[in-house]
Amino acid sequence: MFDEQRVDLDGVELPRYIAVEGPIGVGKTTLAKNLARLFNYEVLLEQPEENPFLERFYRSPRSVALQTQLFFLFQRANQLQQLRQNDLFEPVQVADFLLEKDQLFAQVTLDDDELAIYQQVYDRLTLDAPVPDLVIYLQAPSRVLNDRIRQRGIASEQNISAEYLEALNEAYTQFFHYYDRSPLLIVNAQDLDLASNREHFQQLIDTLLTIKSGRHYYNPTPAL
């Protein structure tokens, strides 16, 4: 977080609902929080620490894959339901996930029989997620994600295998290759420091404020 912001937002039409996405360790929650603070938006965050199966999943994915995935599905469905009840889709907000990402994870982690069960549950929930005005997809090589996961030191994440991270990263790449439901900003986050580099953050804001439709790309440039 930055102590102060130098971005002039006077007269700028902001996207009212922004979703930040990307694989584990890429920095999506940091960016979502910074955007919410800058724009004075509500922030909706994933809560992986609430999933009682997650640590076991990272140690032994096959043992609790379906339980882990269904917990996340119900959690995200509950978050959407709470938003509807509180009528928070009318005010502005930032989220660090897309609901569609749940199926992406399911396809990576579940076998065919488990995926069939998951899909039946997903379909019966009849989820009607709002479409973001802007999606920001942060991408980075798997080795960079692995380094960041190790550095931030969350205990449950230290058992994530390189193979799982690579498969997940590839699934994200494929998903956003075809994504066209919202304006999309694809961000090269390999050398991006959104936690402490003010210039990177300002350059990203300058880019996203120009986006009204289509697909766009952002690569950070060195600060002068």
Q: Which among 160, 190, 181 is positioned nearest to 98, based on CA atoms? A: 181
Cβ neighbours of residue 142 closer than 8 Å, sequence gap 6 or more: 162, 165, 166, 169
Q: In what order do the strands lie in the sheet with 93-95?
A: 42-44, 93-95, 17-21, 134-139, 184-188, 215-218
For residue range 127-180, list pLDDT tens digits in order: 777 889 999 999 999 999 999 999 888 888 888 999 999 999 999 999 999 999
How high is the pLDDT of residue 224?
45
Report the pLDDT value the prediction gives residue 100, as an integer from 0 to 100. Answer: 85
Contact 21, 35 (CB under 8 A): no
pTM strictly above 0.85: yes
Whether pLDDT at 3 is above 80: no
Q: What is the mean pLDDT of residues 65-80?
A: 91
Per-residue pLDDT of 50-66, as tens digits, reads 999 999 999 998 899 99
Please list, in sequence order, all residues whose beta carbon lies within 8 angstroms of the beta carbon of residue 85, skipping any fewer than 6 positions away. none
d(CA 3, CA 196): 10
What distance in Å separates the CA atoms of residue 134 and residue 15, rounded to the nearest whole number?
A: 6
E strands in 22-62: 42-44
Per residue in 6-61, pLDDT (tens digit) is 555 666 788 889 999 999 999 999 999 999 999 999 898 999 999 999 999 999 98
Both tokens assigned to 173: 């790449």
Task: Walk me through the domains of the chain, giving residue ranges and CATH numbers.
Answer: 17-218 (3.40.50.300)
Cα–Cα distance for residue pair 164/109, rounded to 1 Å? 8
Say how many C-beta atoms besides its own lie within 10 A of residue 120's C-beta.
10
Q: How many CB atoms lie within 10 A of CB 50?
A: 10
pLDDT score for 66: 97
**How far apart (Å, rounded) are the C-alpha atoms in residues 46 and 20?**
11
Pairing of strands 93-95, 42-44: parallel
Lowest pLDDT segment from 19-28, 61-70, 75-84, 181-190: 75-84
